[in-house]
Structure 1
């Protein structure tokens, strides 16, 4: 889509004017990893959802450092008629996956072809929280499981050293 189309469709669907339409244009293209460094309140989160408007069967996986952020995202999407779930919220007591679980899901071309990107919200946490959140040290595994799925790193505080550490981790 053109930048004008992205702005028009987003304004209609989300009732907000997008400021980072170029990021969305790249995300919809889906051929490169992306980094979005922008201040709090500038619309980074909106860029997570905008590609869903252009890939009707598309799926976004969003990794957030706090349960509260995940819950807020799910509620916001619901207000726009987009179904989402926050697994960590605990509302779902059963999640069904065929035998082999998530590993089969990651190897299922029908599913992985629908992935728009894996979004790392507050991506600086991959570096700054990895000492006490061990799972951040293992984040690179997703790259091996989903080699064709772009990563989208979003942060307001992504200085050179943190960015380099995150790139090395992923």
Structure 2
């Protein structure tokens, strides 16, 4: 609940909670309560994001995901998303499995090295990092 409230109040948040403890609900709630706003969810594991999108769709919540393959097929897609009308609807940025940004870094997903640029493109959008296994020494 604290994470959802932070996002709704425009503040960044960091959540460490056990697997299956409901971390995803922390960003589902703000999206549902703030109609018209979109959450960008960054997740390194395709299997996980596919399941989350399927779960959201099952609850009649519109959701989709973009994979690396889709972006390679349409190189201008990110620019389209981060400009104009769509940009104005972005309400939240979620980094799921956030520990992997540090653990695997750009060796696994080269785009991780560029996450900071997204912050500059949409500066007034709150971010939340979610993980079950963050190493306190690296955070």
What TM-score range do you get, normalising by the shorter chain? 0.7 to 0.9
Larger RCO of the pair (alpha carbons < 8 Å, separation 6+):
2
CA contact (8 A) 1:74 1:85 kept: yes
**Following TM superposition, by how much is the alpha carbon of 1:159 offset from its aligned partner in structure 2, in angstroms?**
2.2
**Structure 1 match to 2:131:** 155
C-alpha distance in structure 1 between counterparts of 2:68 and 2:23, whole Å: 22
Distance 2:53 2:106 in 1: 28
- 1:104, CA displacement in angstroms? 5.0
Residue segments in structure 1 that go unaligned for 5+ positions in a row: 1-20, 164-170
* Superposition deviation, residue 70 in structure 1: 1.0
Give the Cα–Cα distance (whole angstroms) in 1 for the partners of residues 59 and 106 of structure 2: 37
**Structure-2 residue corresponding to 1:33:** 12
CA distance in 2, matches of 1:111, 1:87: 15
* Deviation digits for residues 40-81 of structure 1 (CA, Å, limit 9, x no counterpart): 111001212111221110100001111001110111001110
Kept in 1: contact 2:97–2:131 (CA 8 A): yes
Secondary structure at 2:91 match in 1? strand
Q: Which moved more, 1:70-79 or 1:44-53?
A: 44-53
Which one has a bigger Cα radius of gyration?
Answer: 1
SS of alignment partner, residue 40 of structure 1: coil
Is there any run of 5+ residues in structure 2 with no aligned partner, and where? Answer: none
Please give the TM-score of this superposition, normalised by the length of structure 2.
0.85
SS where residue 126 of structure 1 aligns? helix
> Does the Cα contact within 8 Å between 1:129 and 1:136 map onto a contact in 2?
no
Give how far 1:152 is off: 0.6
- SS in structure 2 opposite 1:44? coil
The equivalent residue for 2:101 is: 126
User: What is the TM-score of this pair, normalised by structure 1?
Assistant: 0.71
